[in-house]
């Protein structure tokens, strides 16, 4: 009975955190329904991108908090990452919540620079707003882990030297956006599961090195104080490295592989 009494508060805190995240998802869903009443396409796209980034960042703040409670047993946090990746995939259709995704669409010609700049601005504002919103929610003390000061402290996730950190984030961005690009023809329900599984794997593989964020907007929200204290290191790892991954992915699939295929075809004909 004593063990059960010791165990129960932790279960209550976990359920409270899960309830908070699901409430945020529901509230953002209602906000998206209201946003659909806006008839101006630019404003509508801006609001949807803002809400999507806000939802992603808030939930990730809470997931990061939960994962730190059981660092020796990553199964439960990884399960939550997979589940909420599914939730985001189902609810955030039509948005990217990631500046790298916007860059990819602009590079392949799927988005104009004006729309891209507007979406990037919406993501930046959503990421910053989420940080202060989660601080306000944590100040309510809904669980023993919710401390408002925590959201404003720098908790450096980089556990390796700068070159390895850059390579880790670049590879994660390359793999994820390559899958995103090539899974477009896959059925929606299956694609969401595949991407959620891939995100979970990347977090498992790279989480202990850099956190495996591969999203500049999310990194800004999670580690804003660290950007203030070590700007160049975090700028290179969490902004430049994922962008480099996108650039390499575009060069490989749009230029190098077609060139290689054409040379191979010409050589066979000769």
State pLDDT tens for residues 38-63. Answer: 777 788 889 999 999 999 999 999 99
Q: Say what the pLDDT of residue 4 is.
A: 41
Taking residues 142-152, report their average pLDDT. 73
Question: Which of the four pLDDT bands, split at 50, 70 and 90, describes residue 9?
Answer: low
State pLDDT tens for residues 76-113. Answer: 889 999 999 999 999 998 888 999 989 888 888 778 88
Higher per-residue pLDDT: 265 or 99: 99
Q: Is the pLDDT of residue 153 over 80?
A: no
Question: What values do phi and psi take at 60, rounded to 5?
Answer: -70, -35
Q: Say what the pLDDT of residue 135 is.
A: 86
State pLDDT tens for residues 159-185. Answer: 899 999 999 999 999 999 999 888 888
How many helices and strands, by DSSP H and E, does the chain display?
A: 12, 0
Which residue from 137, 163, 162, 161 is spatially nearest to 151, judged by alpha carbons?
Answer: 137
Query: Rounded to whole angstroms, how far apart are CA atoms 259 and 16?
Result: 54
- Rounded to the nearest 10 degrees, how much is the dihedral formed by the CA atoms of 258, 99, 92, 169? 80
How far from chain centre, in Å, is Cα 100?
A: 10
According to DSSP, residue 186 is labeled: S
State pLDDT tens for residues 13-39. Answer: 888 889 999 999 999 999 998 888 877
Q: Say what the pLDDT of residue 1 is.
A: 45
Q: Say what the pLDDT of residue 2 is.
A: 47
Percentage of the chain lying above the pLDDT 70 cut: 88
Query: Rounded to whole angstroms, how far apart are CA atoms 103 and 117?
Result: 10
Burial 175-184 (b: 16+ CB within 10 A, else e): bbbbbbbebe
Query: Rounded to whole angstroms, how far apart are CA atoms 121 and 50?
Result: 8
Instruction: Say how many CA atoms lie within 13 Å of 35 toward its Cβ.
Output: 18
Query: Rounded to whole angstroms, how far apart are CA atoms 50 and 44?
Result: 10
Whether this model's pTM surpasses 0.85: yes
């Amino acid at each position: 009975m004593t063990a059960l009494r010791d165990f129960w508060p932790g279960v209550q805190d976990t359920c409270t955190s899960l309830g908070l995240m699901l409430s945020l998802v529901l509230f953002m869903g209602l906000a998206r329904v209201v946003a659909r009443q806006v008839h101006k396409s630019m404003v509508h796209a801006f609001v949807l991108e803002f809400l999507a980034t806000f939802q992603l960042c808030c939930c990730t703040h809470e997931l990061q908090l939960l994962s730190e409670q059981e660092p020796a047993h990553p199964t439960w946090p990884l399960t939550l990452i997979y589940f909420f990746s599914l939730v985001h995939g189902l609810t955030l259709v039509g948005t990217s919540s990631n500046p790298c995704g916007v860059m990819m669409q602009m590079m392949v010609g799927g988005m104009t620079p004006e729309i891209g700049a507007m979406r990037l601005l919406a993501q930046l504002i959503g990421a910053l707003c989420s940080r202060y919103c989660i601080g306000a929610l944590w100040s309510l003390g809904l669980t023993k882990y919710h401390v408002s000061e925590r959201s404003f402290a720098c908790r450096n996730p980089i556990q390796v030297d700068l070159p390895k950190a850059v390579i880790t984030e670049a590879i994660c961005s390359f793999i994820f956006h390559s899958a995103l690009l090539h899974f477009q023809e896959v059925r929606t329900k299956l694609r969401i599961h595949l991407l959620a599984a891939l995100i979970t794997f990347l977090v498992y593989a790279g989480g202990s090195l850099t956190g495996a964020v591969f999203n500049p907007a999310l990194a800004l929200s999670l580690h804003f104080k660290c950007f203030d204290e070590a700007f160049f290191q975090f700028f290179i790892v969490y902004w430049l490295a994922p962008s480099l991954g996108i650039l390499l992915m575009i060069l490989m699939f749009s230029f190098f592989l077609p060139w290689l295929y054409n040379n191979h075809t010409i050589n066979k004909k000769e």
